[in-house]
C-alpha cells in the first residue's frame, strides 16, 4: 500500500470511509454527509473530529464497526511496511 505524508505524518492511501463502504457498513451518501459535517466543523474553527465518531453520532456506525475499520487500516499499514520496495536505479537518467 502506498503511503503519503501530510504535515509529517504518514497516512494510508486507503482511507477510513472507503473501507467502511467496502465492508458494507455505510453507503456513499452517508460518507459524504459525514465528510460535509467534518468540513463544516473545521471551517467553524472547532477541532476536527474523527470521521468514525461523526458517523457514529449520525447513527451510521457502531463502535465495533469503527474498531473493525481501524484494525483493517492498521493491518494494511503493517503489511505495507513489511513489503520490500524495489531498489532505486542509480542511473542519472532516472533522477
pLDDT in tens, 43-95: 898 888 999 999 999 999 999 999 999 999 988 888 877 766 666 655 555 54
Task: Tell me: pLDDT of 9 over 70.
Answer: no
Interatomic CA distance for residues 42 and 51, integer angstroms: 12
pTM > 0.85: no
pLDDT score for 19: 95
Among 56, 60, 58, 77, residue whose Cα is nearest residue 13:
77
pLDDT score for 85: 61
Interatomic CA distance for residues 77 and 95, integer angstroms: 28
- Where are the chain's structural domains? 14-80
Neighbours of 83 (CB within 10 A): 8
Amino acid at each position: 500500500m502506498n503511503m503519503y505524508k501530510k504535515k509529517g505524518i504518514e497516512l494510508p492511501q486507503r482511507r477510513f470511509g472507503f473501507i467502511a463502504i467496502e465492508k458494507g457498513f455505510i453507503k456513499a451518501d452517508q460518507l459524504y454527509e459525514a465528510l460535509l459535517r467534518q468540513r463544516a466543523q473545521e471551517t467553524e474553527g472547532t477541532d476536527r473530529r474523527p470521521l468514525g465518531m461523526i458517523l457514529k453520532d449520525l447513527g451510521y456506525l457502531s463502535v465495533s464497526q469503527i474498531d473493525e475499520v481501524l484494525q483493517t487500516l492498521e493491518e494494511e499499514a503493517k503489511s505495507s511496511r513489511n513489503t520490500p520496495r524495489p531498489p532505486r536505479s542509480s542511473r542519472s537518467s532516472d533522477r
